[in-house]
């Protein structure tokens, strides 16, 4: 990154976001906006704050590493939204905001006088991101939802695991939260573009399960077209072979992906097995005898170290990659060259390593300016600026449990 790019004004500078959500999905959308210059005010329950502060590995500060990483670039204020006085303060702030991010169960904010109609009345141009388990409509709208439930309902869990075995968690238990946050950030940006053209705000409505369902390639059209119900496929896939995970002689694993005939021909050259290229020249041939093909690749990788497999595959331009642990990632030169791991310093914790900003922009790259904030650190400044509260008024609100 050049000094000019690092100093360039960020593209979302001037956008103000109120993040009154908890845990990951909607807060992650707000964090993405913050990385590109939006002013994000994290609105938290007095005394306890967002429960995500206590999710994961604790630090000497009292907040977890997860909080320090995922609440990056935000300011924190405390506010009891259930208290009518707290709700009034929130409406005052919403009147001066561009975006509100929330993930309460549908109807909750409405009970507190903070629903869409209430906030739109004070700010017709407001964009409101609403993330919940099942969205704001439908027969399941009132059900509680978490990422693990979204993986199950959205169809992903059924595909994970080994054939004949139990369904398993597809990687991170928080995957649906992060996916929904990404979709949420896209929705907010599109809505802001519309607002800039028309002056009209709108809601962005996401159910966690919908984000999962959206990324399952041909699952829906294939079922509608021919009635196929796909099940767990283990380390491989029904559509290509060899296309999976293979153990090496040193105990490490690699992923190899041969999605077409040319890729397989290259792999057979790396394996020095021209007989396989001749016998299994077409995808259909390989799929019809998957066990033999995968077995041959497994036998080959089992005689070599991971480094040797990678070298031979990459020499022949076969898509192959190490199955990395986080320790592998920390030592990987590609991650280092791209700056994918960022080190910041917290005054109480010291150095903290977090994932860097994605996506990478050349002219206006996002940046992480600070880790997750301490609870309520912005109360005096933000309430003074947005609500005009004096120190005495703030103290009275604090004594009453409003902030």
Q: Which two tokens stand for residue 372?
A: 């997750």
The CB-based long-range contact list for 235-240 (8 Å cut-off, 24+ gap) reads 236/290, 236/294, 238/287, 240/283, 240/287
Helix (H) or strand (E) holding 257: strand 253-257
Supply the DSSP symbol for 64: B
Helices (H), 72-157: 84-94, 108-111, 116-122, 147-153
E strands, 20-158, where? 39-44, 74-78, 99-102, 127-132
Burial per residue of 92-108, b for 16 or more beta-carbon CB atoms within 10 angstroms, e otherwise: bbbeebbbbbbbbebee
User: Helices H, strands E: what count in the chain?
Assistant: 19, 11
Residue whose structure tokens are 């079922």: 223
d(CA 87, CA 109): 9
Supply the DSSP symbol for 390: -
d(CA 256, CA 243): 6
Q: Is 137 helix (H, G, I), strand (E, B) or coil?
A: coil
In this structure, are residues 184 and 131 in contact, taking their beta carbons and an 8 Å threshold?
A: yes
- The one catalytic residue in 50, 98, 177, 294 is 177
- Bridge-based pairing of strands 253-257 and 243-247 is antiparallel
Active site residue 250: no
- Which residues participate in catalysis according to the annotation? 177
């Amino acid at each position: 990154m050049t000094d000019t790019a690092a100093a360039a004004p960020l593209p979302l500078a001037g956008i103000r976001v109120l993040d009154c959500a908890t845990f990951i999905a909607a807060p992650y959308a707000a964090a993405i906006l913050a990385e590109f210059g939006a002013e994000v005010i994290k609105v938290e329950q007095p005394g306890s704050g967002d429960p995500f502060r206590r999710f994961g590995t604790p630090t000497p500060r009292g907040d977890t590493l997860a909080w320090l990483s995922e609440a990056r670039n935000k300011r924190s204020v405390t506010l009891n939204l259930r208290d009518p006085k707290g709700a009034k303060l929130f409406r005052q702030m919403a009147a001066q905001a561009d975006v509100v991010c929330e993930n309460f169960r549908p109807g909750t904010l409405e009970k507190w006088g903070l629903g869409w109609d209430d906030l739109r009345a004070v700010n017709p141009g407001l964009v409101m991101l609403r993330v919940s388990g099942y969205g704001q409509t439908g027969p399941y709208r009132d059900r509680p939802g978490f990422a693990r439930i979204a993986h199950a309902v959205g169809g992903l869990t059924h595909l994970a695991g080994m054939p004949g075995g139990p369904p398993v968690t597809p990687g991170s238990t928080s995957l649906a939260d992060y996916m929904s946050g990404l979709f949420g950030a896209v929705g907010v940006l599109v809505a802001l573009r519309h607002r800039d053209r028309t002056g009209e705000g709108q809601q962005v409505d996401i159910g966690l399960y919908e984000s999962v369902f959206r990324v399952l390639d041909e699952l829906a059209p294939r079922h509608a077209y021919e009635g196929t119900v796909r099940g767990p496929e283990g380390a491989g896939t029904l559509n290509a072979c060899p296309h999976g995970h293979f153990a090496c002689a040193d105990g490490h694993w690699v992923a190899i992906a041969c999605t077409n005939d040319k890729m397989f021909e290259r792999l057979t050259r790396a394996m020095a097995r021209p007989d396989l290229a001749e016998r299994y020249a077409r995808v259909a041939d390989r799929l019809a005898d998957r066990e033999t093909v995968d077995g041959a690749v497994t036998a080959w990788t089992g005689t070599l170290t991971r480094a040797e497999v990678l070298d031979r595959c990459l020499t022949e331009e076969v898509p192959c990659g190490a199955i990395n642990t986080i320790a592998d990632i920390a030592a990987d030169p590609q991650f280092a060259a791209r700056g994918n791991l960022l080190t910041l310093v917290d005054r109480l914790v010291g150095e903290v390593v977090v994932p860097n900003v994605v996506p990478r922009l050349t002219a206006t790259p996002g940046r992480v300016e600070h880790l997750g904030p301490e609870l309520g650190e912005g109360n005096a400044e933000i309430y003074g600026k947005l609500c005009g509260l004096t120190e005495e008024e703030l103290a009275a609100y604090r004594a009453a449990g409003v902030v």
